[in-house]
Amino acid sequence: MYEIKDIFPLILPAFFISLSLVLIHVYFGTKIFERGVIFADIAIAQSAFLGSSIAFLIFHDPSKELTYLFGVLSSIFFGILISSQMEREVVFKEGFVGVIYALTSSLSVIVLSKLGRESEHIRYMLAGNILFVSWEDVIRADLIYFVIGILHIIFKPKRRSFVSEFFFFSTFGLVVSSSVSLAGVLLVFSYLIVPVLTSKLLFSSRYTLLTSYLIALISTLIGFVLSVAKDLPTSPTIISVCILFFFVALFIDSIKNLKKKNQELNS
């Protein structure tokens, strides 16, 4: 039907962008995990979505850049709200993030109903597909990720404050808005959450970042090869491999726990 060498140059940008996505999202994923607010991923992405739909409400046919700008502004705004509450206890934080998610979701529904459009359709329009990523997209996204990465290295806060949290969540919003428009919501969420969870199950927390990176990279590689060899949709294949690893880790962890319990019972 076709040869792998034909397809390779065509999907190379997709491959590069997924490597960049791994680099930036796994990092943010571990930081979000440290804060105990995994829901923040979805809440921030939802607020970016809300912003973009507001762009549709104000302008009839907003340009890509305009929808992106509105998405970023909205995610920064809700990022500030979330960061203002980060010094509270974990249960409250997670609850608060949940409230923000519910708020941005229902506001989106209201905005969309004013537009007379279906959210899935807008989501489809706003969310990109990794196969369609061009070299220009790769360069633009890498520039954004690079600058944000450097900023995070320079301004490494000694302890968390409102300013540090504001910085964290606004840069996070910037990254998520851009990556969702390139690779779609599902892949972005998977990179943020799944590798970190897998690593937490298997490895000591000293190596969380490193092992999460490894897990994400291996999943991406296998996902790409499978997608090309078996002609499967690329993002869903990567996501499935990622989650497969998670379940394998879960299985290993459960066996470990069982053994531990048995030993405790025996002794």
Partner 1 sequence: MGKQKKIISLAKIVLLNQVLLFLLSITEKSSAEAKKIKVVSPICTFADIAKNIGGDRVDVINLSDGLNDPHFVEPRPSMIIHMRNAEVVIPIGLRLDLWFFSLIEKSANPKIFEGSSGFIRTYEGVRILEVPEYKFGQPRIGDIHPEGNPHYWLPPDNAKAIAMNIAKKLSELYPEDKEFFIKNTEIFTKKIDEAVEDLKREFSRFEGVKAVQYHKTFTYFADFFKIKIVGEMEPYPGIPPTPSHISQLAEKMKKEGVELIIYEPFRNKKDVEKLSKITSAIPTQIYADCVPQINELKDYISLIRYNIRKIILNIEERENNKKEK
Which parts of 80-139 interact with partner 1 (CB under 8 A)? Answer: 114-118, 121, 124-125, 129, 131-132, 134
Decide if residue 7 touches partner 1 (CB under 8 A). yes
Decide if residue 6 touches partner 1 (CB under 8 A). yes
Kindly write out the interface string for residues 207-246 of this chain, putting x where it contacts partner 1 by CB under 8 A and - elsewhere: --------------------xx--xxxx-x----------
Residue 227: exposed, middle, or buried by beta-carbon count in 10 A (0-12, 13-18, 19+)? buried
Which of residues 87 and 118 has its CB atom nearest to partner 1 in the complex?
118
Which of residues 28 and 189 has its CB atom nearest to partner 1 in the complex?
189
Which of residues 124 and 155 has its CB atom nearest to partner 1 in the complex?
124
Which parts of 12-71 interact with partner 1 (CB under 8 A)? Answer: 57, 60
Residues that bind partner 1 (CB under 8 A): 1-2, 6-7, 10-11, 57, 60, 114-118, 121, 124-125, 129, 131-132, 134, 227-228, 231-234, 236
